[in-house]
Structure formats: structure tokens, C-alpha cells
């Protein structure tokens, strides 16, 4: 049987990392497919009666502005350990976003006075709306949790959790594997970085 190499990704030149032109072309092809405001912020809004809600950052991508929201236990006790829950670091991994929100709505009260809960349910809202792995700059926030982060999503979350890092008992970062990993996001990653696409490899960015 003859092995057939996958078709080159339609943006960029194989073997050459993307520059500004290729990133701009990629960005022009991304479109909003769902609403962060109606699907996420509206849920957080109705949680305000039972939890403390805060805006821990804001993303400005052109004309699009995204407040980054976190939910805290109302009866926060400094002598209790902290459980951190994050979802939507990759915006296309939908179950993490809605799983975090459903946990707060349905089960968070069970942990009152046992632990402090800090929940950031949708770390990457631009990508959530576009069902994408990267942010608007073609950067993977999940690979950007470090000093001088190139991702505003990651930098804002690091600032949020810095005061509680020493008391964090557990961090649950909710992810999933999607069918489009192999058909879109991994080929795009290889093209962006000027590397050959090898089906079956684990993505690293």
C-alpha cells in the first residue's frame, strides 16, 4: 500500500514558520460561532446571589472585548485550603467550560466551610466563541503559563492565582480531546511552526 503524505496546510509555505502575514491570513478566516456573553457570562451572572464574582482581567482583540471572570466561595476562610478549577484554556474544549459552571451551580455548596473554591470557567473566551485551540494571535494559552507570557489569557490567570498558590490543595484543569485535533489543529500547529505534520503525534502548542 502506498503511503500518501497529507496535503499541506492551506496557509503558509511548508517548512517555513509563519510571519505576520500568515498569522493575519489565519485570523481573517476565524469567525464567531457562539456567544461567550449568552452562554458563559449569563450563567456567571445568576451565580452572583450565592458566590463572589470578580473580573480578573480583560482581553481586547480589535473590536472584541472579553472580561475574564472568576467565581469564589462567598464564605472564604483564609485558614482553609484552596481548590482551583479552570476550564476553556483551549476554547474549543467545550465540556470544560460548561462542566466548571455546572459544578458551581450544582455541587459547590457541598464544599462550603471545607475548602475555598476558585473557579475560572472560561480562560480563553475569544477561542471559545470561535471553537479554536489558540487565541487571536495564534498562541496556545496552555503553553504560555510562564514569565513574560505571550498570551494575555495566561498572564491574567497567573495574576489571579498568585496570592493563593501556597494554599492550593488541588488544581483541576478541564480538557478534552476533539475530533478536529487531527484534522485541523495539529496540521495548523505544524504549519505555524514550519514543521512537518506527522499524524498521531501529541500536540505541543
- Domains of the chain, with CATH numbers? 20-193 (3.40.630.10)
pTM of the predicted model as reported, rounded to 2 decimal places: 0.92
User: Which pLDDT score is estimated for 182?
Assistant: 87
CB of 86 closer than 8 Å to CB of 70: no
User: Which pLDDT score is estimated for 192?
Assistant: 97
User: Which pLDDT score is estimated for 198?
Assistant: 79
The CB density around residue 17, as the number of other CB atoms within 10 Å, is: 12
Rounded Cα–Cα distance for residues 188 and 203 (Å) = 10
Rounded Cα–Cα distance for residues 186 and 205 (Å) = 9
The CB density around residue 25, as the number of other CB atoms within 10 Å, is: 13
Closest CA to 82 of 175, 162, 165, 155: 165
Rounded Cα–Cα distance for residues 168 and 84 (Å) = 7
Among 28-32, 100-104, 176-180, the minimum mean pLDDT is found in 176-180
E strand or H helix that includes residue 25: helix 20-28
User: Which pLDDT score is estimated for 201?
Assistant: 56
User: Which pLDDT score is estimated for 205?
Assistant: 57
Say yes or no to pLDDT of 148 above 70.
yes
Higher-confidence residue of 121 and 166: namely 121
User: Which pLDDT score is estimated for 1?
Assistant: 46
Higher-confidence residue of 205 and 186: namely 186
Rounded Cα–Cα distance for residues 38 and 84 (Å) = 24
The grid coordinates of residue 152 equal: 494575555
Say yes or no to pLDDT of 2 above 80.
no
Amino acid at each position: 500500500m502506498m503511503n500518501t503524505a497529507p496535503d499541506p496546510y492551506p496557509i503558509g509555505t511548508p517548512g517555513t514558520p509563519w510571519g505576520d502575514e500568515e498569522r493575519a491570513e489565519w485570523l481573517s478566516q476565524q469567525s464567531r460561532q457562539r456567544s461567550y456573553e449568552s452562554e458563559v457570562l449569563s450563567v456567571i451572572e445568576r451565580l452572583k446571589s450565592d458566590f463572589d464574582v470578580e473580573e480578573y482581567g480583560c482581553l481586547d482583540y480589535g473590536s472584541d472585548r472579553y472580561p475574564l471572570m472568576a467565581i469564589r466561595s462567598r464564605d472564604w476562610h483564609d485558614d482553609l485550603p484552596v481548590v482551583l478549577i479552570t476550564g476553556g484554556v483551549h476554547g474549543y474544549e467545550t465540556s470544560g467550560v460548561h462542566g466548571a459552571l455546572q459544578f458551581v451551580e450544582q455541587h459547590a455548596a457541598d464544599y462550603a466551610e471545607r475548602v475555598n473554591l476558585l473557579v475560572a470557567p472560561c480562560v480563553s473566551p475569544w477561542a471559545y466563541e470561535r471553537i479554536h485551540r489558540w487565541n487571536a494571535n495564534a498562541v496556545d494559552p496552555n503553553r504560555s503559563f510562564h514569565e513574560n507570557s505571550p498570551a494575555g489569557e495566561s498572564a491574567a490567570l497567573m495574576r489571579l492565582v498568585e496570592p493563593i498558590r501556597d494554599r492550593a490543595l488541588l488544581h483541576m484543569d478541564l480538557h478534552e480531546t476533539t475530533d478536529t485535533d487531527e484534522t485541523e489543529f495539529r496540521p495548523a500547529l505544524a504549519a505555524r511552526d514550519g514543521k512537518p505534520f506527522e499524524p498521531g503525534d501529541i500536540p505541543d502548542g
